[in-house]
Every structure is written in C-alpha cells, then in structure tokens.
Amino acid sequence: MESGIDRAYGDRYNKTARALRISGEQKGTANLYIARSLLRNENRAKVPVLLHSFGGNMSEIIAIASGKGGVGKSFLASSLAMSLAAIGEKVLLVDADLGGANLHNFLGYKVPPTGLYNFLRERYQLGDIITKTEVGVDFIAGSGDVLGMAHITKVERQRFIDKISDFDYKYVILDLGAGTSYNMVDLFNLAAKKLMAMNSEPTAIENAYGFLKVAAYRYIERLLAADNSFQDVSRKLRNKSVSYKGLDDVVQAVKEIDQAKADEIDEFAKNYKIGISLNMVRFKKELNIFYGFETVVRKYLKIHVEKLGFIPFDNKVSESIRLMLPFYRNNLASSTASCIDDIRDAMLKKL
C-alpha cells in the first residue's frame, strides 16, 4: 500500500521534473530539492531510502542518545563509527552534544579541532570543519565551553541538517547530548536509525524510558501543531501533572477530535524503532534488563525496541579514555571490539 511519504515524494518529483524539464544531469538536483523539502516533516527519516530508489544520494543519519550521562554513549558512538569504517563504509561522526562536547577525546584529540561553533556562529562552510582522523572516520567536533552553544536556534539546527545532507557519506553518526532538550529530541527523531545507550543502573533505566517518552510525545506534538483543535492535547503532552499515562490515552484523546490523526499516530508507533545497547555489563543477569525495559516501553509507548547487544565492562576502555586513545582501533582482537561489531551488524539488520 502506498504511504503518505511515497505519495508526497511522487507528487513533488513529478512537479519538479516538469519544472526542470528533467534530464539525467538534472535528476540529482530534483532529488535534492525534494529531500530538503521533506526534511522538514516527520517522515524525514525515510527520505534516504526513497532517494536511493530514484538514483539520488543522501547520508543515512544514525542518532545515539541517552537519558543521562556516564552510560558509555560517546564510547559507543565513536566505536560504532570505527566499526562501520572497518567494513568499508564512509562515515562522518558528529559531536552533537552541544553543551558538553568531548567526543574528540575518544578519537585521540586532547582539544577539539575546528567544529560546530565555527560553522554555526562564525559562518564557516561545513566542509571546512570536517577533520580527517587517523582511525578512518571523518569527524566534526563540538564546542562545549561556549556560552549558549547548548541552545542553538531552530534556524541554526535546520541549516546544519540541510548542509550535512549535501555530503557523500553512507552514514552520519550524531552523538547527542544526554537529556531531553528540544534540540536533542528533534535530532533524534529525524534520524533513520535511532540508538539508546544505557547501563543497568536504575537511574539510567528510568532516564532512558523518560527520553523515549519525551521523544514520542514530541513527535506527536509536532504532528498536531498545525491544527488548533489539538491545543488541549498538546498542552497535556507537555504537562507532567495532567499528562497521559501512555500512548493509548493519547490516541483516544486525538480520536475524539479526528480519527485520521489518530490513525497517523498509530502508524507512527508501528514504524518507530529504537535500538538499545546495554553498556558496562559486569554480570550476565544484567541482560534481563533488556526484556523488562522492552516490556514497559511496548506497554506504555507502543514503540518497538530492538535489543542490539551489550558492551562488557572493560578496564582497558577506561584506560584508553584516560590516555585519549581510540579503543576500538587499538584493540581489534578484544571481546569488547567483537561486541561492538555485533551491535553494528544488529543495527544494520534490524533498524
């Protein structure tokens, strides 16, 4: 059955083709025009696949988030980027932790090279802030020590997303900041592949669930934003004391106003997949957290959780971080690197 995104793509492609009197050389221009237009709606994550079918190119965005800091998110992002590069993929790794950038340390840099601050505030071209690293991954550094960088504007965020889509990478990995700021949640939602990093600590589990709830509710809020009849629903989505218990309650409230919108939310939940990596695992019994977390998310949020794998606790990881050495590249034969490769393979297969 043809989806809304397929229809939107087809309609815009036909109109653009007519406007350009499209030729082989102009086809890429039409694809980019359509992609940028679709970037601004909630179906943006499907655009790379559609572009591929029309012969166009667009990087597939992988967003890695966490509900709290200290759960191994940046280690996962850097290691996953190196693991993808090891199988021949062209990867751009971006430190999108706007308020606490430190991803450069995991790649062997003591201080961040030219990065997002220069692009967003000093009007550098995006290509000028990409660093070629020695681990086979291209890198855009963040800027965590600049007042206001944690709160970039919608215009700045959209400019970054538009520009990053121009580059010929197979994957762009965004290492997002911990927590539920609008910038982090919106970047997470636009990604084609969404990963959550967590460990077995109760606070990490609670905050991971909280992040997914906010991400789902934020998606729905944006879906309903253009129609004033949903103002009360949107208000409740943002209000903890009178909020909905779960997605079923949200769908029921929307259904009382507009059945078609309720169906859209159901469709969103059916297609919204999250990959989970459980980090710093010391004991086998900790893996049971996967199943409990999946059950709760499925019950209340109705979204799919894919268990991608785990990363064992490894003293060599802490030592590598302290010495600012890229762990994955220097420990390819380790069981930890093997677990990272397993997560990579599961992500490519399941998400």
Q: Per-residue pLDDT tens for 162-207?
A: 888 778 899 999 999 999 999 999 999 999 999 999 999 999 999 9
Q: What is the pLDDT of residue 258?
A: 97
Q: Per-residue pLDDT tens for 30-73?
A: 444 444 454 444 455 554 544 444 445 678 999 999 999 999 99
Q: How many domains does the chain have?
A: 2
- 65 and 25 in one domain? no
- 78 and 38 in one domain? no
Q: Burial-class residue 29 by CB neighbours within 10 Å (0-12, 13-18, 19+).
A: middle
The whole domain housing 46 covers 1-57
- 136 and 39 in one domain? no
- 314 and 235 in one domain? yes
User: Which structure tokens are listed for 134?
Assistant: 């020695």
For residues 40-69, b (16+ Cβ closer than 10 Å) or e, as one string? eebbbbbbbebbeeeebbbbbbbbbbbbbe
- 231 and 87 in one domain? yes
Query: Which of 57, 81, 102 is a domain's end point?
Result: 57
Euclidean distance between CA atoms 163 and 95, whole angstroms: 16
pTM of the model: 0.85
- 339 and 297 in one domain? yes
Euclidean distance between CA atoms 299 and 243, whole angstroms: 17
Strands 171-176 and 60-65: parallel
Euclidean distance between CA atoms 223 and 47, whole angstroms: 18
Q: What is the pLDDT of residue 144?
A: 64
Ranges of residues in the chain with a pLDDT under 50 are 1-5, 9, 13, 16-36, 38-42, 47, 49-55
For residues 255-276, b (16+ Cβ closer than 10 Å) or e, as one string? eeeeeebbebbbebbeebebbb
- 168 and 261 in one domain? yes
- 122 and 53 in one domain? no
Query: Which of 35, 57, 79 is a domain's end point?
Result: 57
Percent of the chain whose pLDDT exceeds 90 = 68
Q: What is the pLDDT of residue 45?
A: 52
**Contact at 8 Å (CB) between 41 and 264?**
no
CATH code (residue 90): 3.40.50.300
- 47 and 86 in one domain? no
- 35 and 64 in one domain? no
Which residues on neighbouring strands pair with residue 273, listed in sequence order?
304
Query: Which of 41, 57, 73 is a domain's end point?
Result: 57
Euclidean distance between CA atoms 16 and 22, whole angstroms: 8
- 67 and 51 in one domain? no
**Closest-CA residue to 162 (of 133, 120, 224):** 120
In degrees, to the nearest 5, what angle opens at C-alpha 278 toward C-alphas 92 and 317? 65
- 324 and 309 in one domain? yes
